[in-house]
Amino acid sequence: MTLSIQDKAVLINAIRDIPDFPKPGIIFKDITTLLADKDAFKVLMNHLAERYSGYNLTHIAGIDARGFIFGAALAQMLGVGFVPIRKKGKLPYTTVSEKYSLEYGVDEVEIHIDAFSGVESPRVLLMDDLIATGGTAYAAANLINKVGAECVEACFVMGLDFLSGQSKLRDLVEVYTVIGVD
């Protein structure tokens, strides 16, 4: 269930740091290198599949856009459905939306109103690549609850542990990060 030190190192080494992207002072955690490394991608996905196999999930909800990649792969491995949570204006059917604050201004995420319809007591795992301030994930977890499902945990490949995002999100939902970055 817990990742070995060796496997953790495989994942950490597969993620690339891009300094000053998208703006000065930000170290962008680039997961494209992990995706292109079949062994590292397999280590990650096998770990997640093992962790969540006993959770009785009905769906994985992935956050636009990198959460789609990990979320959809995990949904297939677990044999559950996948639901996208997208930036405003991208989903074609009737949506429910939630605003959240950014450093400057606000952003908005949406989910289809019927995302979990037809399933009794949906149990949903929220998935994204990284939690920074936690604002996006907080809004996404609220959306899952708003459309009548239970968000049982929020899972991230990486957590920026020097930011306070995780503790705020923990007020709403259990949080799991595969790798902590300090």
**Least distance between ligand AMP and beta carbon 24 (Å):** 13
11 or 132: whose CB is closer to ligand AMP?
Answer: 132
Residues within window 13-52 making contact with ligand AMP, judged by CB under 6 A? 26-29
Report the C-alpha gap between 110 and 55 in whole angstroms. Answer: 25
DSSP letters for 32-96? HHHHH-HHHHHHHHHHHHHHHTTS--SEEEEETTHHHHHHHHHHHHHT-EEEEEEETT---S-EE
* 84 touches ligand AMP (CB under 6 A): no
Is the C-alpha dihedral spanning 165, 105, 15, 53 positive or negative? Answer: positive
Q: Which alpha helices (DSSP H) does 94-158 contain, by range?
A: 135-146
Active site residue 103: yes
**Using CB under 6 A as the criterion, what x/- string covers residues 141-170 for binding ligand AMP?**
------------------------x-----
Report the C-alpha gap between 111 and 56 in whole angstroms. Answer: 22
Scanning 3-11, 68-76, 89-97, 130-138 for contacts with ligand AMP by CB under 6 A, the matching segment is: 130-138
98 or 129: whose CB is closer to ligand AMP?
Answer: 129
* 110 touches ligand AMP (CB under 6 A): no
Select which of 51, 66, 86, 153 is catalytic: 66
25 or 54: whose CB is closer to ligand AMP?
Answer: 25
* 71 touches ligand AMP (CB under 6 A): no
* 63 touches ligand AMP (CB under 6 A): yes
Report the C-alpha gap between 51 and 100 in whole angstroms. Answer: 29
Bridging pattern class, strands 16-19 and 27-30 = antiparallel
Identify whether the C-beta of residue 146 lies closer than 8 Å to the C-beta of residue 177. Answer: no
Which positions are annotated as active-site residues? 66, 103
Residues that bind ligand AMP (CB under 6 A): 26-29, 63, 66, 128-137, 165
